[in-house]
Structure 1
């Protein structure tokens, strides 16, 4: 059987739509994984500093993103939009790439969305954090 051709890079519109959907899913993740435990702990008199709360958010989102990226290359919104994160050769990304992508996405998103705007000038229309991590987002065919 001949090797399958590489999957095409996903279009910017599709990736942005998936990112919007991802925001809704992340809200639910934070509601369950952050707010609920914090409410229960505060109800029992356990209070955390602002730094500890931000660390909790950072680690919770890291666990969510990195887990899904290294276990199938997709989060739920990415599955819905038939997107997958792959390495430069089209294979599964390594855990270090997933972690680097996550860490790079924070400044890319928080600094005025510079990492998203980067796709407008990038020759392959990739986000800046994908460039940094050596990953790319591809579109899967409709029949998978």
Structure 2
């Protein structure tokens, strides 16, 4: 059953890129706190496991980080279709049919979101870039990838097109999907 709004002739309005990037900036501030939780969990697991190899420790910490960030996004996307920054900027994530995401689709979208940072991260790793250069490359990669939404017919991000999801503008106080 589609939950597209009748008031707009059955079409959702995609949020502007400016609003989506502002939401992303706000999200990155909150993700700093989520990263602290991830680091605490990883440190606890390191103490429990007693891993000696630097490579093993890095893999464990990165795995915990991916899992904790994934839990954060999948939880909010499947519960309300919005993280706190998305609520603030009146942006909601729905399926292409206008329905709430299930866990499988939310996990797929989380994995596909790696398209934002993966190319820059791989380049940085291969070229042994220092953290400042890596962060600059990731920022440029995010901006370039985000601008690709201008090439999509409904102005959606390409990972959303791949996953059958879309970002939509919601009226203040009225979620697109209850």
> Would you call these one fold, judging by a TM-score over 0.5?
yes
Shift of 1:60: 0.7
Instruction: Give yes or no for contact 1:109–1:116 (8 Å, CA) kept in 2.
Output: no
- Structure 2 distance, partners of 1:121, 1:135, is 17
Q: CA deviation at 1:110?
A: 2.6
Does the alignment pair 1:46 with 2:46?
A: no
Which of 97, 104, 111 is the aligned partner of 1:96? Answer: 104
Q: How many residues align?
A: 141
Matched, 1:129 2:133: no
Equivalent pair of 2:39/2:65 in contact (CA under 8 Å) = no
TM-score, normalised with respect to structure 1: 0.85
Q: Deviations over 1:27-80 (max 9, x none)?
A: 111112x22234455667834521111111111111010111000100011011
| 2:19 aligned with 1:11 | no
Unaligned regions of 5+ residues in structure 1, if any?
A: none
| Root-mean-square deviation over aligned CA pairs | 2.1
Structure 2 stretches of 5 or more lacking a match?
Answer: 120-140
For residues 43 and 59 of structure 2, the distance between their equivalents in structure 1, rounded to whole angstroms, comes to 17
Partner Cα distance (1:130, 1:70) in 2: 15
Residues 92-117 of structure 1: per-residue CA shift (max 9 Å, x gap) = 12222111110000123332235423
Flag the structure with larger Rg. 2
Greater mean alpha carbon deviation, residues 83-92 or residues 114-123? 114-123
Spell out the pairing of 1:54-133 with structure 2 (5 A cutoff).
54-111=62-119, 112-113=141-142, 115-133=145-163
Kept in 1: contact 2:74–2:107 (CA 8 A): yes
Separation in 1 of the partners of 2:147 and 2:114?
14
